[in-house]
Amino acid sequence: MQQDKHQYHPQQGQSRPQHWFRKGAAAAWPICLGYLPVGLACGALAQQAGLPFWAVGLMSILVFAGSAQFIAISMLASGASPVSIILTTLIVNLRHTLMSSTLAIYLQGVNRCFLSLFAYGITDESFAVNMTRFRTGEWNRWQALTVNHLSNSVWVTATTCGALVGQLIPEGALGMDYAMTGMFISLLTFQLQNRIFILTGLMAGLISIAAYLLIPGDSYIIIASVGGATLGYIIKRRSRKKT
């Protein structure tokens, strides 16, 4: 029988679900703060493209993928066929296979119902937040699930509101546009454990810029993360052999 390695230990004090929820919510709020302006903008764009507000909400519930939704909206506006929109969505979201694989390390032996529910909320943002906490060992799967679903509900609300009132909000209010960037910067610093990680980050960044400039579309994210991680891995093995 496989055991759930990340079970919560009651002797560590508070073990109630409310406590997990509070911990999860405390970790999720920067994501929610970032999703507000992005979601409002997404909804406002959709409304301009002729989507009714309920369609925006429906899309956010069924798809829950920020960049893919932006692309789908602009494709709908230019009259693209549903098949091409779905194919583009697939390509844009293929990067999540990497995140899903990485999360599997920390969800070993967890039941498949939970995994299926958890998979729905794997985004760039929830992945980065959950991985950082899983790595320090102070995180359990219920807290991670809270992060996923809280950010999802904010995303659904923000995009739907954007479709209703998005036109009324001034652009760039209060530096909101920087919320996501600030969060990624902060999460990046948490990942820099030693020289190998710093090198991997630098190489992934360089590859990403090069691929971004040379190749249209969103493939630069996958190319740079696979390329950067592979180079980092090779360097790590080389340096281990020498010592």
Which residues from 48-107 bind another protein, rule CB under 8 A? 51, 55, 58-59, 62-65, 68, 72, 82, 85-87, 89-90, 93-105, 107
Q: How near is the Cβ of 14 to another protein at its closest, in Å?
A: 21
* Whole-angstrom distance, CA of residue 99 vs CA of residue 122: 8
**Window of 7-15, 16-24, 154-162, 167-175 that interacts with another protein by CB under 8 A:** 167-175
Asked if 169 interacts with another protein (CB under 8 A), we say no
- Residues 16-45 within binding reach of another protein (CB under 8 A): 29-30, 33-34
* Whole-angstrom distance, CA of residue 159 vs CA of residue 40: 5
* Whole-angstrom distance, CA of residue 111 vs CA of residue 83: 34
Query: Binders of another protein: how many residues, by CB under 8 A?
Result: 97
Q: How near is the Cβ of 75 to another protein at its closest, in Å?
A: 10
* Whole-angstrom distance, CA of residue 110 vs CA of residue 5: 8
Q: Dmax over Cα atoms in the chain, in whole Å?
A: 63
- Residues 120-159 within binding reach of another protein (CB under 8 A): 120, 122, 124, 127-129, 131-132
- Residues 199-238 within binding reach of another protein (CB under 8 A): 200-209, 212-213, 216, 220-221, 224-230, 232-233, 236
Residue 195: half-sphere exposure toward Cβ, Cα within 13 Å? 4
Element (H, E) at 207: helix 195-214
